[in-house]
Amino acid sequence: MLKDIFVTPFADMVAAPDFLLQVLWEGLVSGILYALIALGFVLIFRSSRIFNFAQGIMVVFAALTLVGLHSFGIPAWIAVVLTLGVMYVLAMSIERVVLRPLVGQPDIILFMATIGITLFLIGGGEIIFGGENKVMITEELGIPTGDSVLEPWGGLLILQHLDITVVVVAAALVAVLLAFLNYTQMGRAIRALGDDHQAALSVGISLQTVWVLVWFIAGIIALVTGIAWGARAGVSFALEVIAYKALPVLMLGGLESITGAIIGGLMIGLLEKLFEIYWGQPLMGGNTETWFAFVLALIVLLFRPQGLFGEKIIERV
């Protein structure tokens, strides 16, 4: 038994490095999506201290809107632009109707409000687009669907073109977001707002503008994730689950940290895949991906309650 846990998996990895690469690649693909979606959470949390429960449903809503608009006969790329418009209107409405009246309320109230948004979007999405599963308009968007076969060390490595596209687009989006947050005035305003509302106001930062902006960014992220995940698993309300995968990422990375979200996302993507293939399937009958990330996060939290990269919690007594 001990041998199965501590020796065999590593022996397998060394024996078939091409397969290990395949596993790591697939881990990277989901990891980068987790990172992206966690970034959406972090941005909203940093600028308003709101834990946005609705992030998951926003993914579904964005994907549904895109597919729905296309089904009305609108060309794919125009549908993308229109969906972005819808996400912007959504961000504005959320700020106006939900956030503004609740300014200064305890965090838990704002959290509950995002649950309200979730339920509203589920209902609204079903009424407008129907509840049945849909197919993502992958080809219409011009996303390649073939695959490339590589042969490292005489082995076999299959790279889906869809996955390559996802990795490139998601990585580019993450890079643009990072640059935006770190090197522009608006990005600085977003980071500043989370630290001190009063100070932010005194240097001319408008709460409303920043909130609409971060919710819109969360909307863009939702659309990209929705397209990527929808292309693999179809568009249905079950897509929401991907956002809950971001929860352990956040626990691991800390709700405050942008770097934490990215590293945490990649880590969870890679580790859960490795664990599933080398330990889960042979020893536990598989399907460990549903819980592995949460257990990992739990263990991290036991030793570092603020997450791996979160702000240090200092209690003054």
Measured from the CB of residue 207, what is the shortest distance to another protein in angstroms? 8
Which helix (H) or strand (E) is 37 found in, with range?
helix 17-48
Residue 107 vs 196, nearer CB to another protein: 196
Are 253 and 310 in contact by the 8 Å Cβ rule? The answer is: yes
Q: Which is nearer to another protein, 148 or 184 (CB)?
A: 184
Report how far apart the first and last C-alpha atoms of the chain are (Å, whole number): 48
Q: How far is the CB of 315 from another protein (least distance, A)?
A: 15
Which of residues 207 and 223 has its CB atom nearest to another protein in the complex? 207
> How many whole angstroms separate alpha carbon 196 and alpha carbon 194?
6
Amino acid at 176: V
Which CB, 185 or 302, lies closer to another protein?
Answer: 185
What is the rounded (10 degree) CA torsion for 41, 234, 132, 129? Answer: 60
Q: How far is the CB of 208 from another protein (least distance, A)?
A: 9
Q: Are 63 and 235 in contact (CB under 8 A)?
A: yes
Closest contact distance (angstroms) between CB of 17 and another protein is 40
Helical (H) or strand (E) element with 242:
helix 241-253
Nearer to another protein (CB atom), residue 31 or residue 254: 254
Enumerate binding residues for another protein (CB under 8 A). 176, 179-180, 183-189, 191-192, 194-196, 198-207, 213, 256, 311
CB of 70 to another protein, least distance (A): 25
Choice between 5 and 199, CB closer to another protein:
199
In the complex, the smallest distance separating the C-beta of residue 114 from another protein, rounded to whole angstroms, is: 23
Give the count of alpha carbons within 13 A of 91, CB side only. Answer: 24
Query: How far is it, in rounded angstroms, from Cα 308 to Cα 301?
Result: 8
